[in-house]
Amino acid sequence: MASKCFVINEWIIHDLMGDNGREAQEESSRFLSRLKESCDQIVILEGSKWLEKAYDLMRKGDPIIRTLSKQLRLEILRDPKKCKILNKDEIKPLSEKDRDKIPYDDQYLVELYFSADADALVTSDSRLIENISLQPPVEIILRNDFLKGYLKKDS
């Protein structure tokens, strides 16, 4: 089975934190377990808000959040087969024309997607899907749709 590379925006951090409810927290934990067992990987930007929030997650005192934080850190972020971390020098900037089509806060995600030659950008932000029409196209999947399919592989 061919491996896949995903750009995952900050929804996963909020899920693990419990911000999106217990069910979302459990789904994201199952996603991390499935990711660890698969040949797939995520890609993140060094120094990004995503990584900053992931490290903040590690400072929480709640035992459930601490366990999930360890799962993320030890099983995914520290494993180069599971997590590709690109630095800013490895990011190919979007053209000015394409930048105008993407909300400012999401531009780095699209740049990361193209720079890592990712298979999909997974987001919880439906406006991102509605607003992006680039060539080549960006494969954007909403969080719920992605997890429904990805976690189905568990069964």
Q: What is the pLDDT of residues 5-41, one digit of tens each?
A: 999 999 999 999 999 999 999 999 999 999 999 999 9
Distances (CA, A) of 97 to 80, 88, 101, 103, 117: 33, 21, 7, 13, 20
**72 found inside a domain:** yes
User: Residue 45: what pLDDT?
Assistant: 96
Q: What is the CATH number of the domain that holds 146?
A: 3.40.50.1010
User: Residue 134: what pLDDT?
Assistant: 62
Residue 136: cis peptide before it, omega within 30 degrees of 0: yes
Bridge partners, residue 42, by sequence: 6, 83
Instruction: Give me the residues of the chain with pLDDT under 70, please.
Output: 1, 131, 133-135, 153-155
Distance CA 72, CA 54 (A): 8
**32 found inside a domain:** yes
Q: 10 Å Cβ neighbour count for 151?
A: 14
Taking the model in full, what pTM does it have? Answer: 0.90
User: Residue 133: what pLDDT?
Assistant: 67
Range of the domain at 131: 5-150
Distance CA 86, CA 34 (A): 23
- When divided into structural domains, the chain yields a total of 1
**88 found inside a domain:** yes
User: Residue 131: what pLDDT?
Assistant: 63
**155 found inside a domain:** no
Rg (CA), the chain: 15
CA triplet 72, 78, 83: central angle to 5 degrees? 80
